[in-house]
Amino acid sequence: MSKVTVSIVGASGYTGGELLRLLLLHPDVEVKQVTSERFAGKPVSRTHPNLRKRTALKFSKLEELTECDTLFLCLPHGKSSTQLDRFTSLSDKIVDLSADFRLNDPAQYKEWYGGDHPAPEKMTEFVYGIPELHREEMKEAKWISSAGCNATTTILGLYPLFKAGVVDRERTVVEVKVGSSEGGNSFNEASHHPERSSCVRSFMPTRHRHTAEMIQELSFGEPAEIHFSATSIDMVRGVLATSHVFLNDSLEEKDIWKIYRSAYGDEPFIRIVKEAQGIYRMPEPKLLWGTNYCDVGFQKDPCSNRLVVVSAIDNLMKGAAGQAVQAFNLMYGFDETAALEFPGLHPV
Amino acid sequence: MSKVTVSIVGASGYTGGELLRLLLLHPDVEVKQVTSERFAGKPVSRTHPNLRKRTALKFSKLEELTECDTLFLCLPHGKSSTQLDRFTSLSDKIVDLSADFRLNDPAQYKEWYGGDHPAPEKMTEFVYGIPELHREEMKEAKWISSAGCNATTTILGLYPLFKAGVVDRERTVVEVKVGSSEGGNSFNEASHHPERSSCVRSFMPTRHRHTAEMIQELSFGEPAEIHFSATSIDMVRGVLATSHVFLNDSLEEKDIWKIYRSAYGDEPFIRIVKEAQGIYRMPEPKLLWGTNYCDVGFQKDPCSNRLVVVSAIDNLMKGAAGQAVQAFNLMYGFDETAALEFPGLHPV
Amino acid sequence: MSKVTVSIVGASGYTGGELLRLLLLHPDVEVKQVTSERFAGKPVSRTHPNLRKRTALKFSKLEELTECDTLFLCLPHGKSSTQLDRFTSLSDKIVDLSADFRLNDPAQYKEWYGGDHPAPEKMTEFVYGIPELHREEMKEAKWISSAGCNATTTILGLYPLFKAGVVDRERTVVEVKVGSSEGGNSFNEASHHPERSSCVRSFMPTRHRHTAEMIQELSFGEPAEIHFSATSIDMVRGVLATSHVFLNDSLEEKDIWKIYRSAYGDEPFIRIVKEAQGIYRMPEPKLLWGTNYCDVGFQKDPCSNRLVVVSAIDNLMKGAAGQAVQAFNLMYGFDETAALEFPGLHPV
Amino acid sequence: MSKVTVSIVGASGYTGGELLRLLLLHPDVEVKQVTSERFAGKPVSRTHPNLRKRTALKFSKLEELTECDTLFLCLPHGKSSTQLDRFTSLSDKIVDLSADFRLNDPAQYKEWYGGDHPAPEKMTEFVYGIPELHREEMKEAKWISSAGCNATTTILGLYPLFKAGVVDRERTVVEVKVGSSEGGNSFNEASHHPERSSCVRSFMPTRHRHTAEMIQELSFGEPAEIHFSATSIDMVRGVLATSHVFLNDSLEEKDIWKIYRSAYGDEPFIRIVKEAQGIYRMPEPKLLWGTNYCDVGFQKDPCSNRLVVVSAIDNLMKGAAGQAVQAFNLMYGFDETAALEFPGLHPV
C-alpha cells in the first residue's frame, strides 16, 4: 500500500516538532512538507535538534504548500479558522491542533475567546479530538480538532465519573500543575530561566480557556461546573491535574474502580495507577514524557464524600501531537498505537 | 541587659539548623547548647555547612543539656511530649517545633495521630504558634507550639475570610505544593534525587495531619471543613497553598481587599500580593526563601462565587524556625522582627 | 527465525530497567527472565513504573535463572567476576555491564580497584564494549564488557584525535558534568533531594576509576595521560565531557573536521554537532535522553593551541544499556540500530 | 555621623536589585536615587519583588540624577566609559560594576572587547575590585571597577598559587559552571525555560572576556596562560570554577594548605573548604546564595603533579553587588562586613 502523505503547517514550534518526530517513524506515513515562515529553507534540525541525522527535510513557506492526504495544523490561535478554505482545498483530511475548532457553540467561543468565530458554521463539523470520548466519530471524520492539554488531562480524569452521574455537578474543583513547554517556544519575561526556575506561579487562578472544553465534554445533558485553576511549576513537559469531586452517594473505592475499569479497561493509552505502596502509587507526569499515555489514579477521603482524582499526561504528546496521531490512526484505520509505542523513561 | 540564653534540642536537622542560623544573629540572644545524639562532639558546620566560620559551637548530647532561659525543641514527632518534664525542669520557657502540642483536643489528636496523647493535660497549656492569630496570648506565654508548615500557609491565607464569616464553611478545597525540605534531612527512596527531581507527586491526597490544625484554627464556633491535598514538586524550600473558597454573598474583589487589609494591615510579616500586571502578580514561595514572610493574594472567579486564595511561605522559616523566633520575640517583648530582617533574594 | 532468548541479571536497578525497556521492543528478542533478589515475585513495574501495561514479566531470584542465548549482567561491581562460571554455564554469550571486565591488565585493575581481580585470566577474553572502537571484534565476540559511562563520553570525544596522533599526550584535561542517575537507585545522603538539587559538587576531582579505561583505550602504543575530574550537577540523566587537548601542530578547525569525519562519518550513533549560530551549537545531553547517540563538537582556541572537545551522551543509554544492545546487535548480526531508534525529545 | 548618600544607576537589573537590597540594610548608608529608564516612576518592587514592603523608593530617570557621595554604576557594557564625566561631576566616589574599567591596558581591552576604549587614560585610575588583592589601594581609592564574576571565582581560587610561584604558568585549565542569572534579566532564546532547564551548554568554550582579567591579575611579572571555558548549567545563582594547575615541585597537600592559609587566613569572606568526609567536602555555590563568601578547596592528584582547585561564589554577590559593597566599605573605613552578614541558607 502506498503511504499516506502528510504535511505540517506551522512546524517550527514545539508541537510541530513533536508531530514531526512521531510521523517520521510512522510506518504508513510520508511527511511531505513542513512549513515555517521564519525558518523557510533551513533544515528542520535548526529548531528541532533532536532530529539531527533523522531527516533531510527543510522548512517551506506556507505559500509553497501543495496537496497532500492529511494536513496537520499547528498554527497560533485564530489562524486555522481564517484560512480554513485554503487548507481544505489542499487536503481532504485535517487535524487542527489549535484552539479554533474545539468548541461547538459560537456563543461559548465568544464568551471564552472574546470575539466572534470567523467560521461558526464549521464548528460542529470538527470532531473533538479526545479518542477515548469520540473514537467512533473519528473513524468517519474528515476534520478533527485536537483538545487542549489541560482539558485533556482533566476530562480524561473525570469523564467516567461524570458519565456515570455519581458526582455533584456543581462542586468540582480542579487544579493543574503545568510545565513551561505549554507556553510554546516564544520566549518572554515569564519564561526567562531565572524567573521561571523553581517557580510556583498561579498564572491563571480563574478563567482558563480550557475550562470551556471541560464543560462541553463533561456535561451530559445537565451542565457541569468545573472550578479550574492553573499553576506553573519548574518542569518542562507534563501536566498533573488534581481534581476534587464530591460523590452523590456513599461509594467506596472499589465502586470507583469499577467505574474506571468499565470506562477505560480496553483503552490502549489509559492506565489506572493506584498502588498500595511504594513511591509510584499515583500518576506522575515525568514518567510519561514522550509517551501518549494518560495515567489516572484516585483516593477517597475517609472523612468526607470527597474523591481526589489525579491524572497526568505529557502536554506535547497526549495533550497535543500524540493525541493528534492517535486520532489520525483512527481516521485511516491504522493500528491505533502506530508511531506511539514509546514507553517512557525511568528515571528521568 | 544580659542576653537571653537559649538551647536547641535536636539541632542537627533542617529546622534546628535554620533556628541556629537565626539565633546566632539575634542581638538579644546567646545560644548556649545545641544537641544531637549522632553528631555530638562535632562542630555544627558538619551538618550546617552554611555556618562555617560563623560559630565555634559543637553539638552536645541530650544528657549534657543544662539550664537556660528558653529551650527550642526540634525533635521528631512524639519525643517532646514524652520528655516534657525533663525540659520544663531545665527551662522556664519552651518553644516546641514538633507536632506534639499543636492540637488542643485529645480526641482530635487520637483521630489524626492514631494514639493517645502522652500528656493530654498539657495540650491546652501551649499557645498555638501562629503570631497573627495568638499574639496577645504569646506575650504572656510560657510554652508555645509552632504550627505545621502547611497549616500555617493555609490558615494565614484563609483566616480573615473565615473570621469574617463570608465563606461557605463546608466547601473549601485546598491544595498545597511543597518542597522536599518538608521531609527533613532523612533520606529515603522518595527523596532520592532521580525520583524526586521533576516530580509532581500526589503524596497525600487526603488525610494530611495538618488538616486538624486548620480545622481547629478556622472554626469560629461552627466547624470548618477543609478538603485538603498535598503535592510534592521539584523545589527544596517553599509551600504554595491554592485555596478555593465559595463566598456566601456576592462580594467583589474590593470587599475582599478590605477584609484582608483589616486583618493584616499592620502585620510585619504578611504582605498582600495582588498586582494587575507583570510576572509577580501573585505570591511565589521562591521569593520568600530565608524570610519570615507569608505572602497572600486572591482572585475572584467572574463566572461563579469562587474565590481563589493563594498563600506562600518558606516552610523552614515562617513554617518553622522563623515563626518560632517571631513567637519568642513576642514572649520576651523584643522587637517582633529581630533576627528576621532578611528580605529574600531575587532572582533565585 | 526464532527469537534470541535473553535474561537480565540484576534487573531492578536503573540500568537493568533501561535494558528491559529496550529489549522488550527488540524485534528479534524474547526476554525470558529478569532477576532481583529484593523484588522476586513482584511485577517489573514495581521498580520500573514506565513499563506498566507493557509486560507481564515478574522478577525471579538469581537461583531460578535458567539457560538462555544471552545473559546481560547488571550486578554491582565485583559480582560478575566471582560468579562468571555460573553465568557461562547458562549462556553462551554474555554482556556484562559492570566494571569487572573493562580493563585488560590485572595490574591496572589492582591499581584502580584496590584488590586482585578474581578471574584475571578472563580479563582479556572480554571485548571492551564501545562499538565504534571494537566493532569487528564484537562480530566474533562471545563476551562483551560494557564501558563506563564517563569513559564512553570521554573516549568517544577524544578517540579520533589520539588515534590520529595530533595531540600532546601528556596534557589532556577532562571534566565531566554528570547527572544523579549515575549513582544508581540506592539512596544516600548525597542523593537526598534537598542536598542534591541545584548542586555543583566536585565529588571526584581526581582518581575516578573510569580514568583507567580512558588510558587503556586512548594509548596507541604510547601511554596517554588523562587528567580527569567529575562534577555532579542538577540533572538526572546525561554526561557532558569538556576535554581540553593541546594540539601538536597548528591545525585549523577544518583539519579537525576532517579527522572527525573520517573517524565517525559512517557511525550510526555519532553526530558531529558544531553549528555557527543558534542555541544548539554544541552537544547537550538533555537532547539525548533515551537515545543511543553520542554527540561530539569542538572549538579551537584562537589564542593558543588548545582545542576544546565537547561530547555528550545519556549515561543509561550510550553509557550503559544502549551501548550493550548495540554490541548485542553486532554479536548477532542484527541491524545495529535495532531497538535503538528513539530520536530523543525536544524540548525536555 | 550622617549617613553616606548613594545612588544606583541602572538599578532595575539583577545586579542593581541585589545592590539595593544590601544598601537598604547598610547601617551607614542612605539610598538616594535608583535609576531606570524603562521603569521610571514605578516602585522598585516592580522589578525587585523581594523588596516589597521594604522601601518606598521609586525609579528615576538618569536625567534626574542628582549629586551624592557615591555612585554605583550597573549599566550595560560600554555605557559607563562614555558617560564617565557626567558621573564624576555628580559624585566623588564611583563603583562601576560594568566591564568598562576592569582592564588596565588599552591594547588588552581592544583585543578582548573588539574596539578602542572610549577613555583609555582613565583605565589605570580605577582600582580592580577584588578586595583580597587590592585592599590597601581601595582604602585610598576614588574609583573602583568591580571584577567579572567568573574572573573573581577563578582568580580567588588561583591567586595564592600564582603569587607563590608554585605552578606551571602555561598549563592551567579552568572550567566554570555558571547559573542563568549571569545573563542578566534580558530574556532571549537561550534563556527560555524549556531550553535552559536541565541544560549543560558549552556556551563559551574559548575566548571568554573574563580571561583577560585573570591574566592581568595572575601575571606577577611573567604572563600567566589561563585556558578557560564556561558552561551553563541548570542553576540560577552561582559559579563553580574547577581549575587544573600543574605544580612545579612535588608539593603535598599540607604545603598547599600553608600557601592558602597564609594568603587567606585573615580574610573575612574566604573560607578554605576541604573536609575529609561527608557530602560538603568541597565548595558548593548553592550554600553561598545571598552571601559574600568565596569558598576555596583543592585536591592533589596522587597520580600526577596536577592540583585541582575548586572555588565557588554567588555571582550576584561576591561576583558583583557584594564585592562592590565590600569595596565601598573599605573606601569609607566602615566595617568590611557591614551589610554583608547573611550566612546563607541550608538546605536550599
pLDDT the model gives residue A249: 86
pLDDT the model gives residue B179: 98
User: pLDDT tens digits for C247-298?
Assistant: 998 899 999 999 999 999 999 999 999 999 999 999 999 999 999 999 999 9
Of A171, A233, A234, the CB nearest to B171: A171
The reported pTM is 0.98
Q: Is the peptide bond before D131 cis (omega within 30 degrees of 0)?
A: no
Which residues of chain D does CATH 3.30.360.10 include?
150-316
Please check the confidence at residue D69 and state whether its pLDDT lies above 90: yes
With bands split at pLDDT 50, 70 and 90, how would you rate the model's confidence at C2? Answer: very high
Of D21, D53, D346, the CB nearest to B271: D53
Of B179, B187, B198, the CB nearest to C192: B187
DSSP string, A147-196: PPHHHHHHHHHHHHHHHHT-B-TT-EEEEEEE-GGGGTT---GGGBHHHH
CATH architecture of C150-315: 2-Layer Sandwich (3.30)
> Residue written as cell 593551541?
C305
Please check the confidence at residue D36 and state whether its pLDDT lies above 80: yes
C-alpha atoms less than 13 angstroms from C-alpha of B59 in its C-beta half-sphere: 23
Of D199, D284, D300, the CB nearest to C200: D284
- Separation in Å, CA A345 to CA A274, C236, D17: 19, 11, 41
Supply the mean pLDDT for chain A.
97
Tell me the shortest Cα–Cα distance from D181 to chain A, in angstroms: 6
3-state secondary structure of C345: coil
Residues facing residue C246 across a β-bridge:
C306
How many angstroms separate the CA atoms of C179 and D233, rounded?
11
Instruction: Average the pLDDT over C306-328 and give the result.
Output: 98
Considering only CA atoms, which of C8, C67, C66 is closest in space to residue C39? C8
Instruction: Average the pLDDT over D101-105 and give the result.
Output: 98
With bands split at pLDDT 50, 70 and 90, how would you rate the model's confidence at D1? Answer: low
Instruction: Average the pLDDT over A255-261 and give the result.
Output: 98
A149 is catalytic: yes
Contact A66, A87 (CB under 8 A): no
CATH architecture of D150-316: 2-Layer Sandwich (3.30)
- Whether CATH 3.40.50.970 fits A4-125: no
Please check the confidence at residue B1 and state whether its pLDDT lies above 90: no
pLDDT the model gives residue A1: 67
User: pLDDT tens digits for D122-177?
Assistant: 999 999 999 999 999 999 999 999 999 999 999 999 999 999 999 999 999 999 99
User: pLDDT tens digits for A36-83?
Assistant: 999 999 999 999 999 999 999 999 999 999 999 999 999 999 999 999
Between D278 and D1, whose confidence is greater?
D278
Considering only CA atoms, which of D124, D127, D129, D103 is closest in space to residue D114? D103
CB-based contact D177 C200, cutoff 8 Å? yes
User: pLDDT tens digits for B99-133?
Assistant: 999 999 999 999 999 999 999 999 999 999 999 99
CB-based contact C347 D194, cutoff 8 Å? yes
Contact residues, chain B, for C179 at CB < 8 Å: 194
Supply the mean pLDDT for chain C.
97
User: What are the DSSP E strand ranges found in A97-151?
Assistant: 127-128, 143-145
Instruction: Average the pLDDT over B271-276 and give the result.
Output: 97
pLDDT the model gives residue A344: 98
Residues facing residue B149 across a β-bridge:
none
With bands split at pLDDT 50, 70 and 90, how would you rate the model's confidence at C137? Answer: very high
3-state secondary structure of B270: strand
pLDDT the model gives residue A316: 98
Supply the mean pLDDT for chain B.
97
pLDDT the model gives residue A38: 97
Residue of A111, A112, A173, A245 to mutate for B, most B C-beta atoms under 10 A: A173
How many angstroms separate the CA atoms of D135 and D131, rounded?
5
pLDDT the model gives residue D98: 97
With bands split at pLDDT 50, 70 and 90, how would you rate the model's confidence at D249? Answer: confident
ipTM of this predicted structure? 0.97
CB-count exposure of residue D14 (10 Å: 0-12, 13-18, 19+): buried
Q: Which of C68, C74, C149, C294 is catalytic?
A: C149
Please check the confidence at residue C1 and state whether its pLDDT lies above 90: no
Contact A215, A116 (CB under 8 A): no
Contact residues, chain B, for A231 at CB < 8 Å: 177, 240, 242
pLDDT the model gives residue C215: 98
CB-based contact A180 D189, cutoff 8 Å? no
Residue of C202, C282, C287, C295 to mutate for D, most D C-beta atoms under 10 A: C202
Which residues of chain D does CATH 3.40.50.720 include?
4-125
CB-based contact C347 A53, cutoff 8 Å? no
One-letter-per-residue 3-state SS of B1-58: CCCEEEEEECCCCHHHHHHHHHHHCCCCEEEEEEECCCCCCCEHHHCCHHHCCCCCCE
pLDDT the model gives residue B250: 87
pLDDT the model gives residue A196: 98
pLDDT the model gives residue C250: 87
Which residues of chain B does CATH 3.30.360.10 include?
150-315
Instruction: Average the pLDDT over A185-205 and give the result.
Output: 97
CB-based contact A191 D189, cutoff 8 Å? no
pLDDT the model gives residue C67: 98
How many angstroms separate the CA atoms of C184 and B229, rounded?
31
Instruction: Average the pLDDT over B134-151 and give the result.
Output: 98
pLDDT the model gives residue D324: 98
With bands split at pLDDT 50, 70 and 90, how would you rate the model's confidence at B210? Answer: very high
pLDDT the model gives residue A134: 98
CB-based contact B237 D46, cutoff 8 Å? no
Instruction: Average the pLDDT over A179-197 and give the result.
Output: 97
Instruction: Average the pLDDT over C204-225 and give the result.
Output: 96
pLDDT the model gives residue D250: 87
Considering only CA atoms, which of B38, B305, B297 is closest in space to residue B167? B305
